[in-house]
Amino acid sequence: MNHFLRRTVLATLLAAGTIAPAVHAAAPLAKTPAPGYARAMLGDFEVTPLNDGTADLPMDQLLKQKPEATKATLEKNFLKLPLETSTNAFLVNTGSKLVLVDTGAGGFFGPTLGKLAANIKAAGYQPEQVDEIYITHVHPDHVGGLAADGKRVFANATVRVGKADADYWLSAANEAKAPADKKGFFGPARASLEPYAKAGKLKPIEGDGELVPGISAIAAPGHTPGHTIYLVQSRGQKLLLIGDLIHVAAVQMDNPQVTIGFDSDEKAAYAARKKAFDAAAKDGELVGGAHLQFPGLGHLVAQGKGYKWVPVNYTQMR
C-alpha cells in the first residue's frame, strides 16, 4: 500500500470511528500553593506579610456566642465549619533593622502550619538576617517557629515579649493550676523561649515604648496576661500589628463583644480590642492581624456598634 493510499484509509477509518484518535491525559493537579508572602511599603519601611499556613478550627464551639449564630454568620459570608483560619506574621525592614513580629506554629500543629521559615526564604530573606523578634503573646501558634529540635531558628535575633506573658507561661506553678484547656500551652512556650533565654537573647518588655526606631510596643492584655501589640511608623504612615485582638472577622467585626475560648480574660480582651480598634478607625491607620485572611492587612471603619474591615487593594502590595 503506497503512502497516499495508507493515509486515505486511515483518514476514512478515523472518520468512521473505527480507530479512536490518541487521547492525551489532562495535566496532573499541581497541589502546591504559591509561596505565602506579600509586600507593602510603609513610608520608608518594607513590610512583608508572611503566612505560616492555615488550621481548620471549630469556631462555633470556640466563639462565645450561640453556635447556631456563628454558623449562620459564616454561611452568610460564604464560609463553612470548621473554619479555615490563617496564621500570619509580619517582617518589617526598617533599613537598619529586620524585625519579625510573631513566628507561627512551627511543628506544634501539624503539616498545614509551620511554613514561616520557608516563606521568609521565598520572600528573599534568611532567618539568620532577622535582628529582632517581637512576640504578641506566648501561644504556640505565635512562638512555635522560634525553635526546632531545641535550637534557635533565628540564630542572631533577640526575642522581645511582654513580661507578664513570659512570667506566666514559663511558670511551672501556673501550669499546675491552669485550666485543663490551657495546660497544653505551657510546654510549647518553654520549648520555644528557653533556647533564647539560655543564650541571653530573651528580653521581656516591661512597659509601652519604642523598641527600635519606628516600632513601639503597646500593652493590650486580655487574650493573654501580657498580650502586646506593635505600632510601626515611618514618614507619617502607621501600621498597627494587633496579634490576637480578633480571630474571626466575619463575626467579630460586626459584634466585637464576641470573645473566644482562648482568651485568658474575656472582659479585658474585649476592652483591649475596642480600645485599639476605635483608635485605628479614628486615625485611619493600617492594621495587620495574625488571624485575618492573608495577607491580613487592611483598614477599620467604625460602623454602628462594630467595624467594617476594608482589605488593602492588591496594587498596594508591591
123-166 pLDDT tens trace = 999 999 999 999 999 999 999 999 999 999 999 999 999 999 99
pLDDT at 98: 98
Residue 167 resides in a domain: yes
The burial of 32, by beta-carbon neighbours within 10 Å (0-12 exposed, 13-18 middle, 19 or more buried), is given as exposed
Q: Say if residue 10's pLDDT is above 90.
A: no
pLDDT at 16: 53
Residue 184 resides in a domain: yes
Domain that holds residue 267: 36-316
Beta strand extents in the chain (DSSP E only): 40-42, 45-57, 83-93, 98-101, 132-135, 147-148, 151-152, 158-162, 202-205, 209-212, 215-219, 228-234, 237-241, 286-288, 297-303, 306-311
For residue range 63-99, list pLDDT tens digits in order: 999 999 999 999 999 999 999 999 999 999 999 999 9
Task: For residue 279, give the C-alpha cell.
Answer: 483608635
Residue 271 resides in a domain: yes
**Number of domains the chain is built from:** 1
Distance CA 80, CA 153 (A): 35
Residue 28 resides in a domain: no
Over residues 221-235, mean pLDDT: 98
Residue 15 resides in a domain: no
| Distances in whole angstroms, Cα of residue 263 to Cα of each of 60, 63, 226, 277 | 15, 10, 12, 17
| Distances in whole angstroms, Cα of residue 40 to Cα of each of 240, 253, 301, 305 | 14, 24, 21, 30
CATH number where 157 lies = 3.60.15.10
Q: Say if residue 1's pLDDT is above 70.
A: no
Distance CA 303, CA 29 (A): 43
Q: Give the whole-number percent of the chain exceeding pLDDT 90.
A: 87
What mean pLDDT value characterizes the chain? 93
For residue range 14-35, list pLDDT tens digits in order: 455 555 555 566 888 888 888 8
pLDDT band at 45, cuts 50/70/90? very high
The CA angle 112-113-115, to the nearest 5 degrees, is 115
Contacts of 32 (CB under 8 A, 6+ apart): none
pLDDT at 21: 53
Distance CA 283, CA 34 (A): 34
pLDDT at 208: 98
Distance CA 84, CA 111 (A): 14
Element (H, E) at 222: none
Q: Give the whole-number percent of the chain exceeding pLDDT 70.
A: 91
pLDDT at 32: 80
Residue 95 resides in a domain: yes
